[in-house]
Structure 1
Amino acid sequence: MPGRRGRRPAKKKSKGRKALLWVGGSTALVVLVAGVGGYVYLKHLEGNVSTTDVGNAGSSSFSKDEAFNILIIGTDKRTGEGNEGYGDKGSVGHADTTILLHVAKDRSNATALSIPRDLIVDIPDCETTREDGTKTVVPGEQDVRFNRSLGEGGRDAGCTMRTVKEATGIKPDHFMMADFNAVKTLTTAVDGVDVCVEHAVDDPKSHLKLPAGESTVEGEQALAFVRTRHAFGNEGDLDRIEVQQQFLGSLMRKMSSSDTLTSPTKLVKLAEAATKALTVDKPIGNVGTLKDIALELKKVPTKNITFLTVPVIDNPTEKVKATVVPNPSEAPQVFDMIRNDVSFTEVKKKESEKEKKEKAAVAARLEGEKSEPSEIRVRVLNGGASGGSAQRELTYLQTEAGVTKSENGGNAPADVARTTLEYAPDQAAQARALAEILGLSGAAMKPGESVTNAQGLPTMTLTLGKDFKGAGVKLDAASIETPDVEKSTADQKQCAS
């Protein structure tokens, strides 16, 4: 796969990989409500689910009216019947496969962000609960691999959730974790998942054998497909992540097909497999909440479910490249978009009646002559956006939008809810041009007086409010194209190479 680099050669035998199939669980749970069973059966399924108390690492409840983030975790621990031969025999269960699933507030889209296990992060101190109910604090560590946020020293999923918040600024609300059997039993329940490979595969380490082209895999063969690192790309972890994302998309399509949804037998198998494989945080471990989450997930169209990986570069402190760090020019925008509920696919923005009337009333401010970007003079203030937003937006304006006469004005006197552009009457042409670049509505344009910049010249003032969605993201858009960030959607059929 172009643009991907292998991290390092496998040293002994490859560790077991585990993709937690969140859509499998959600689809199965939707079925419980729709046609399989009733309250008694739902309580039976609830009894299959294990729970963990993660304290304040997540949210204390689930809301059907808000965006939410679920951390999907797979470990390399040998758990589950028939899995003694997988993974690392002595592993305490590291965070080997991790996906941060963000579901938009309006349910029009979702983003599944894969977090590389070899990403260098700071693991914060975290409180965990022992089996006897007593609590202890596991000390944090700096500049270590992300996968160590689970298992070592008794770290539980709450520690992994805190590490994600520390590394990305995005707080996971809940977590779901499963064993190897999730892949085997869910794929078997739907009579296999369709996959495609560009070249024939014969990997003795994962025992995966496939001919070139399309195949259907289930059970042990499906597990081998998501575990292998040596059959695709440069045999690196990032290539494995891409293959897993393609596999998940295919599984999602299979589960949403009429062949699956109209089969009571398959639906019951899915429900049993999903719940027996799951460990979740206590607030979502009851039947009502699992049902609600499933129904909310069901609203998201597969074409608007985006798979992507944290943008990374090789760790510059290493001579032998074995770990990665976030790409400073790409990762902050990805994190900003997820944090601010912005889609990575094109979705139609919904407008309220109030917004429609407001737009009509101030539309005249956007009409008329527009200056060239090089003629726009503006200072950028941070008035409630995340830290560093003013500088990131300034960099975008200067390097991408051609607004070279721009400067960072620091923090605004006070936070504001909405981004605004203040300008003098003789700067109206500049204001209209900048509004077009930024996607500002007429309501965001505030005619008034100009101020002087560091050179003593009149300049407009752009104040980034709490609605700021990230550098280069138009304020009137619900989504943005993100060049240079590799991504795919759940409705796309792809061949692993």
Structure 2
Amino acid sequence: MDAQGRGRADDIDPADQWVLNPNTGEYELRLSPSAPQSSQSAVPGPRRSATRRAGAPARGRTATPVAPEAPGREVPPPRRRRGAPPEPLPGRRGRRPVKKKGKAKKVLLWTGGTMAFVLVAAAGAAYLYIEHLNGNITSVADDGASTGGFQKDKAINILLIGTDKRTGSGNEGYGDSGSVGHADTTILLHVSKDRTNATALSIPRDLIVDIPDCPTTREDGTKEIIKGSTGVRFNTSLGQDDRTPSCTMRTVTELTGITPDNFMVADFNAVKTLTTAVGGVDVCLGKDINDPDSHLNLKKGMQHISGENALAFVRTRHAVGFGGDLSRITLQQNFLSALMRKLKSNDTLSSPSKMIKLAEAGTKALTVDAQLDSINKLKDLGLELGKLNVKNLTFTTVPVVDNPAEKVKATVVLNDASAPQVFDMIKNDVSFTAVKTQKKKEAAAVAARLKGTKA
């Protein structure tokens, strides 16, 4: 085969195309760069000695450049093995081959990106929902009547006020449809400093009290002092003469010597919406109740109530006890105890839908003081109250006696013999639960001694 067929070297002698490499001692074929090889040509590779000299480059690596050729001759780069990657051009750094991402890595990247998007979206949705709940909250000034708000390292006193204002769908049928919203049901909730126990003190609406002068901030920001009243029913501390919840606070302080930290006002709708949100509560009745005034008709035994039935239950008085407000207080306490148990139950706490319904119902139905005017502040209070074991919650009522000034008994007055002791126990953070437990032990011991004596 001639030079034309071997290397397309035109008139160059084939013998001149084999060059000795002094570093390897081998002859290597050197072709002109302008004479490309055909892919079909079978050009023999360089001859190799039996053993590679010490210091020579390993196989597969670029050989050390040979000595310059005679003038006019170009030395082409060494021939590379078939399938080997091309050598980098002089003066340029070689690129590393681009590795293709594996399918698993692509899936991880896609999933991670999606998760990041979901988290950002969820955070945004949570923020918007919190803002929505904040927009639900109605707050009014405490006018300096409170302590300035509850503190985490102290006992907590929250004034819970249920008004008889008939606003809301279906509420006009309950009694006095034109009520301005009196303090119909009032409870001072005391939670101990260590959060191990609590006392719910009911204040009768028909208790005769003195209402002090009440500095009041109006909705338009103007301020005025509403004159106090002597010897009037407690429920007129709210609504009457345009009195606000801060005036009820001052009246409670005047009566008990205890200054509330915060207040919450609930209307008829709060009872209906809160019980519906938790799926209803269970109450136990000692006898059948059929009260045409409250529209309640329930049989004796355990009953499940919510919505309208729950409101009728707390409004009932003519069909229980002596038919007065004191008899109704017992029902209200039973209802609140059942509601608190349901709020603390796993059935409620583990249900996102119920928690959302509760958040909606609570923020819409309650009016709070300005110290509790955001969902975060209400959450902090809720976390403190949530530490309480409801088994250690004691319901009691301000000790009262019939008003001696009345021939037809309609109101009550403070029992001066026992009421001060109850107020002092709350002020001094004494557990009513512990006192009751101790009294039971003492009674049992007395009974055991009497039984032994008779034997």
The answer to whether the 8 Å contact 1:176/1:279 transfers is yes
2:386 aligned with 1:298: yes
Residue 61 of structure 1, CA deviation? 3.5
| Structure 1 counterpart of 2:283 | 195
C-alpha offsets along residues 251-285 of structure 1, whole Å, 9 cap, x if unaligned?
11222222222111111111111111110110111
Secondary structure of residue in 2 paired with 1:84: helix
> Shift in Å at residue 39 of structure 1?
4.2
Q: Report the count of equivalent residues.
A: 318
Q: Secondary structure at the match of 1:59?
A: coil
Task: Provide the rounded CA distance (Å) in 2 between the counterparts of 1:482 and 1:39.
Answer: 51
How far is the alpha carbon of 1:38 from its aligned partner? 4.3
Counterparts of 1:195 and 1:287 in 2: how far apart (Å)?
30
Question: CA contact under 8 A between 1:98 and 1:117: conserved in structure 2?
Answer: yes
Partner of 1:90: 178
More RCO (CA 8 Å, sep 6+): 1
The residue that corresponds to 2:411 in the other structure is 323
Match of 2:210 among 118, 122, 127: 122
Q: Which runs of 4+ in 1 moved over 3 A?
A: 37-40, 478-483
Q: Matches of 1:292 and 1:142 in 2, distance apart?
A: 38
Identity rate, percent: 65
Aligned residue for 1:75? 163
Spell out, residue by residue over 1:318-364, the C-alpha distance to the aligned partner (whole angstroms, 9 max, x if none): 22211111111211010000011111012xxxxxxxxxxxxxxxxxx
CA distance in 2, matches of 1:280, 1:482: 38
Contact 1:344 1:481 in 2 (8 A): no
Is residue 2:296 matched to residue 1:208? yes
Cα distance in structure 2, aligned partners of 1:73 and 1:322: 21
2:253–2:259 CA contact under 8 A, matched in 1: yes
Shift of 1:481: 4.5
Asked if the contact 2:175/2:293 (under 8 Å) is kept, the reply is no
Question: Which residue in 2 is equivalent to 1:49?
Answer: 137
Cα deviation for residue 206 of structure 1 reads 1.0
1:196 aligned counterpart, secondary structure? strand
Letter paired with 2:320 = F
Match of 1:135 in 2: 223
The corresponding residue for 2:339 is 251
Q: Which runs of 5+ in 1 are unaligned?
A: 1-34, 347-472, 484-497
SS at match of 1:57: coil
Decide which of 132, 149, 155 is 2:237's aligned counterpart.
149
Instruction: Kindly report the root-mean-square deviation, in angstroms, between the aligned alpha carbons of the 2 structures.
Output: 2.0
**Aligned residue for 2:395?**
307
CA contact 2:149–2:262 (8 Å) conserved in 1: no
Give me the whole-angstrom Cα distance separating, in 2, the residues matched to 1:65 and 1:40: 31
Residue 111 (structure 1) shift: 0.9
Equivalences for residues 164-175 of structure 1 within 5 A:
164-175=252-263
Candidates 285, 309, 312, aligned match of 1:224: 312
Checking the alignment, whether the CA contact within 8 Å between 1:103 and 1:111 is kept in structure 2 is yes
TM superposition score normalised by structure 1: 0.62
User: What's the offset of the Cα at 1:231?
Assistant: 1.8
- Residues 125-171 of structure 1: CA deviation (Å, up to 9, x unaligned): 00111222111110001111101111111110010000000011111
Unaligned runs of 5+ in 2: 1-122, 442-455
**Who is 2:361 aligned against?**
273
The answer for the alignment partner of 1:261 in structure 2 is: 349
The one-letter code matched in structure 2 to 1:42 is I
User: Could you tell me whether the CA contact under 8 Å between 1:344 and 1:480 is conserved in 2?
Assistant: no
2:314 counterpart letter in structure 1:
V
Contact 2:147 2:259 (C-alpha < 8 Å) held by counterparts: no
Cα 1:187–1:327 shift into 2, 3 Å: same
Distance 1:129 1:76 in 2: 22
Question: What secondary structure, in the 3-state scheme, does the structure 1 residue paired with 2:173 have?
Answer: coil
Is this contact kept in 2: 1:95–1:146, CA < 8 A? yes
1:233 pairs, out of 321, 327, 339, with 321
Q: Determine if contact 2:392/2:433 at 8 Å carries over to the other structure.
A: yes
Superposition deviation, residue 47 in structure 1: 1.6
Give me the whole-angstrom Cα distance separating, in 2, the residues matched to 1:148 and 1:338. Answer: 24
> 3-state SS of the aligned residue for 1:215?
strand
Normalising by structure 2, report the TM-score. 0.67
Counterparts of 1:262 and 1:318 in 2: how far apart (Å)?
Answer: 53
The question of whether the paired residues in 2 share the 8 Å contact of 1:128 and 1:154 is answered with: no
Name the SS of the counterpart of 1:56 in structure 2: coil
C-alpha deviation, 1:200, in angstroms: 1.8
Q: Given residue 127 of structure 1, which amino acid in structure 2 is its aligned partner?
A: P
Question: In structure 2, what is the Cα distance between the partners aligned to 1:306 and 1:198?
Answer: 20
On the 8 A contact 1:76/1:87 being kept in 2, the answer is no
Cα separation, 2, equivalents of 1:338 and 1:259: 32
Residue identity opposite 1:212 in structure 2: K
